[in-house]
């Protein structure tokens, strides 16, 4: 395949993967629904930077080396699974508390004086969720090793990085934007406790499964 075909194939596979439900998708849905557009956009930026770093590490072969080292990869799985389980536990705990003490969800709960901190926290949460997800590491190692030839030009590899980052930012930003429109957010905020519960279950299920895999790898 020539470089144009490779880049188009790379973009198509990556975009399909972005739309698949997972931790990244759930994080944007949960937070854009609950805290509004700005939080959703900063989470989108964090996720996209995480994807960019995964892509860069895969292109340079660093991720491949990590994946081929059983103990190191198991430790990464342990950290990633624990983090996702932590997110799930937090979401489910908050859901339980809100069901016991219902409050008014008709307005976003972010206070103005917390807005700056929330930007940083949103970016950090998005970045950590993606970069600590071992499934993302495996995906990009597989994607890059199967599609991007070692002899591909530096310009072609640079364009690939731009495409992966750009598509990620576009998709997650669009998702955050749509979920935070005034009319839709008013409806979604009323159902936010259920959205939190579903997202909590997604985080917990994926996190616990990764955690168990990492323990089995270390023990075995």
User: Which tens digit of pLDDT belongs to each residue from 95-135?
Assistant: 887 777 755 544 444 444 444 457 889 999 999 999 998 88
Residues of the chain with pLDDT under 50: 105-116
| Two tokens, residue 215 | 């323990």
Residue 187's pLDDT is 76
Residue 182's pLDDT is 77
Residue 169's pLDDT is 97
| Two tokens, residue 4 | 């144009």
Residue 148's pLDDT is 84
Residue 114's pLDDT is 42
Residue 103's pLDDT is 55
| Two tokens, residue 27 | 């994080």
Give the residue among 48, 50, 32, 49 at the shortest CA–CA distance from 40.
32
Kindly report the number of other CB atoms within 10 A of residue 131's CB atom.
Answer: 21
| Two tokens, residue 200 | 């909590």
| Two tokens, residue 158 | 């640079």
Residue 112's pLDDT is 45
The whole-angstrom separation of Cα 135 and Cα 141 is 10
Residue 109's pLDDT is 47
The whole-angstrom separation of Cα 83 and Cα 183 is 33
> For the chain, what are the domain ranges?
23-219
CA distances to 13, 65, 133 from 139, in Å? 11, 14, 10
The whole-angstrom separation of Cα 217 and Cα 157 is 33
pLDDT in tens, 6-17: 999 999 999 989
């Amino acid at each position: 395949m020539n470089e144009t075909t490779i880049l188009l194939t790379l973009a198509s596979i990556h975009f399909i993967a972005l739309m698949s439900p997972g931790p990244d998708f759930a994080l944007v849905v949960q937070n854009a629904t609950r805290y509004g557009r700005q939080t959703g956009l900063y989470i989108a930026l964090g996720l996209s930077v995480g994807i960019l770093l995964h892509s860069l590490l895969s292109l340079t072969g660093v991720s491949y080396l990590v994946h081929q080292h059983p103990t190191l990869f198991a430790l990464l799985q342990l950290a990633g699974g624990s983090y996702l389980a932590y997110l799930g536990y937090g979401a489910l705990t908050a859901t339980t508390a809100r069901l016991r003490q219902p409050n008014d969800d008709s307005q976003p709960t972010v206070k103005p004086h917390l807005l700056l901190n929330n930007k940083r926290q949103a970016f950090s949460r998005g970045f950590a969720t993606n970069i600590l997800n071992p499934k993302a590491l495996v995906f990009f190692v597989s994607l890059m090793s199967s599609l991007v030839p070692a002899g591909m030009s530096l310009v072609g590899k640079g364009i690939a990085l731009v495409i992966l980052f750009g598509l990620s930012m576009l998709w997650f930003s669009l998702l955050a934007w749509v979920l935070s429109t005034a009319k839709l957010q008013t409806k979604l905020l009323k159902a936010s406790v259920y959205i939190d519960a579903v997202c909590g279950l997604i985080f917990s299920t994926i996190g616990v499964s990764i955690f168990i895999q990492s323990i089995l790898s270390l023990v075995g």
